[in-house]
Structure 1
Amino acid sequence: MSKGSDKRPIVIRRKKVVHAHHGGAWKIAFADFMTALMALFLVMWILSASSEETRRGVADYFSTPLITAVTGSDQAGSTRVIPGGGPDPAHSDGERARMDMLQHSRPSPQERRFFTDLQERIERAIEADPELRQLRRQMRFDLTREGLRIQLLDTEQRPMFELGSDQVAPYMRNLLRTIAPLLNELPNDLSISGHTDNVPYAGGYRGYSNWELSNDRANASRRELVTGGLDPDQLLRVSGFANRVVLPDTDPRDPVNRRIELVVLLPEIAEAIRNPGTMSSDATLPASADDLVEDLTQEPLPTNASD
């Protein structure tokens, strides 16, 4: 071999330097941030340009529990997969019996909007009439478990009826006939109830009393509503409560307790009134007086320890 072949080749290794970069991750995060910021300003702009009614509807929507929105009923308090042990969640026995429905019934967000619209239309109609405008302070609107309640209250200066009578005052007649066609705009049934103060008749409850007076005034209001255009088929209940239901924080003799209450009923409440619930089949009544005596003698009454 030659001397030249004894020399080993020189290998030069050069380290390749790669200039790394951060990639596009920051761009995605920044884009998400800008999208969220744009959505926030868009929502703020929509809310500022919306009416009070729209904002109330949005608030009602987000305050409704998810289970209520999905099933259409309030089952948030239930700890069972199938409420009340029924065969399916829509079954109407056990925990979701009629009495439970009445106790926990409340207007849905959509029904609240309908009731609010009705109240606003009534208030606008009253405000447009100079005579009725003076009666606005004698009206109260509130939502109850039964539905929208409209209360027409008496005052000493402007009573709704003649004293101790069911004769409707002219302005009360005008008010009822103005309200009547507006009540037709909702398909809900209507309940009318009459109430009196605690001042008794001279004959007490043996003759014509506050019971008859409250019922007669409720019927007189019904006649004026029908004359004003109310659909008679919407009337479901007309009743008198005498002086038994006093307004909270008022004296029983206060004139405001002489009032007429109109309730635009929720559908489930109207259905419960049409079909009142009964006791379970286990709680049957005795067929005759002999059976009652036999039932009483099966279990001895407790004796007094001193005997």
Structure 2
Amino acid sequence: MAKSTQPIIIKKVKKAGHAHHGGAWKIAYADFVTAMMAFFLLMWLISMTTQEQKDGLAEYFAPTSALSSGTSGSGGILMGTALDKSGNKTSAPRDSARDTTGQEDKTRPTNSGGASDREANRRAASAQANYSAIASLRQALQNMPEIADLSRNIVIEQTKDGVNVSLVDDNGRSMFPEGSVQPYERTRLLLEAIAPTLRRLPNQLTISGHTAAARPGSVQAVDSWGLTAGRALAVREILSGAGLPNDRFTSVVGRSDTEPLFLDNPYIPPNRRVTVTLLNAEPPLPPGAFP
């Protein structure tokens, strides 16, 4: 039998590898994960920040023109009002002042535009003095790192009456032992830290003590009126011992639970506080000007 001369062909199929897709998707995914982590961290920080701190930060980053028409000297770190109940407020012209000005303009033969300008200038000068006072107080606190952990317990805000410096209880940290009128040593250090600044400022001072309302069904162990009055007196004694003259104090009172910091929840710890108010100081009038 003759052998076949037809050649045998063997076909080998080589499998090609998948094309390289590059690493761009990895970078995009990493950026996405980082952004999500930053977002959740931001949400956590917002939930842990009090309303007064949020408003203080917002006011700090606001344009300077939103604070005052001139240079207030309050451009330091964390300026604005921070560390409050429903938010830090800037003082606005009181209606009574406008009404009084209007009555005077009707009865006094003078230029109404000039009187209005003088009143506006006086209000602007008072607001600027308050911003400078806030800046001085915050600087005094920043110079004492040993009380940095009390930042959540200090509320400095401008109000229609002046500048409030409040020592506020926080969850897990109180400024006074429960039921006691004598403060903790850290509270004493804080008051002694701001005393030199208060002594240099011209403002008269008032001190008021406040406490949280008792929850329905609970029984108060001590009289809230006596407790808040005693704490206000203790603060006055510390400031007086640190060099403030007695004639700088115009009133020292206890308010009990009649003026909660949080109107919608008068039972929480931040309603327990002692507030030192630097009353608005009227700037001196130029010679010949009407009061």
Tell whether the structures are fold-level matches, with TM greater than 0.5.
yes
Q: Does 1:266 align with 2:275?
A: no
Tell me by how many angstroms 1:208 deviates: 5.1
- Specify which structure has the bigger relative contact order, considering alpha-carbon pairs within 8 angstroms and separated by 6 or more residues: 2
Match of 2:259 in 1: 245
Match of 1:224 in 2: 238
Match of 1:196 in 2: 211
In 1: Cα distance, 2:169 partner to 2:120 partner: 30
Q: Deviations over 1:153-197 (max 9, x none)?
A: 012322111101101100000001111110122211001000011
Match of 1:20 in 2: none
Aligned residues: 189
Residues 175 and 247 from structure 1, CA distance in 2 versus in 1: closer, same or farther, beyond 3 angstroms? same
Tell me by how many angstroms 1:257 deviates: 0.6
Residues 250 and 87 from structure 1, CA distance in 2 versus in 1: closer, same or farther, beyond 3 angstroms? same
Match of 1:27 in 2: none
In 2: Cα distance, 1:146 partner to 1:232 partner: 21
AA of the residue aligned to 1:136: S
Tell me by how many angstroms 1:149 deviates: 1.1
Residues 106 and 261 from structure 1, CA distance in 2 versus in 1: closer, same or farther, beyond 3 angstroms? farther
What is the percent sequence identity of the aligned residues? 28
Match of 1:255 in 2: 269
SS at match of 2:253: strand
- Deviation larger for 224-233 or 255-264: 224-233
Residues 130 and 280 in structure 2, CA contact (< 8 A), matched pair in contact too: no
TM-score when normalising by structure 2: 0.56
1:171 to 162, 168, 186: 186
Residues 150 and 161 from structure 1, CA distance in 2 versus in 1: closer, same or farther, beyond 3 angstroms? same
SS at match of 2:239: helix
Residues 105 and 145 in structure 1, CA contact (< 8 A), matched pair in contact too: no
AA of the residue aligned to 1:128: N
SS at match of 1:260: strand
Q: Deviations over 1:109-164 (max 9, x none)?
A: 22222222222222222222222111122112222121111111012322111101
In 1: Cα distance, 2:120 partner to 2:150 partner: 31
Unaligned runs of 5+ in 2: 1-60, 72-95, 112-118, 283-291
AA of the residue aligned to 2:251: R
Match of 2:147 in 1: 132
In 1: Cα distance, 2:273 partner to 2:102 partner: 42
Tell me by how many angstroms 1:231 deviates: 2.1
Match of 1:41 in 2: none
Tell me by how many angstroms 1:234 deviates: 0.7
SS at match of 1:163: coil
1:212 to 226, 229, 233: 226
Residues 152 and 170 in structure 2, CA contact (< 8 A), matched pair in contact too: no
1:146 to 161, 178, 186: 161
Residues 225 and 254 in structure 2, CA contact (< 8 A), matched pair in contact too: yes
Match of 1:180 in 2: 195
Residues 126 and 281 in structure 2, CA contact (< 8 A), matched pair in contact too: no
Tell me by how many angstroms 1:60 deviates: 2.2
Cα RMSD after superposing both structures: 3.7
SS at match of 2:69: helix
In 2: Cα distance, 1:158 partner to 1:230 partner: 27
AA of the residue aligned to 2:166: Q
Residues 109 and 78 from structure 1, CA distance in 2 versus in 1: closer, same or farther, beyond 3 angstroms? closer
Residues 159 and 262 from structure 1, CA distance in 2 versus in 1: closer, same or farther, beyond 3 angstroms? same
Tell me by how many angstroms 1:105 deviates: 11
Q: Deviations over 1:8-51 (max 9, x none)?
A: xxxxxxxxxxxxxxxxxxxxxxxxxxxxxxxxxxxxxxxxxxxx
In 1: Cα distance, 2:247 partner to 2:102 partner: 41
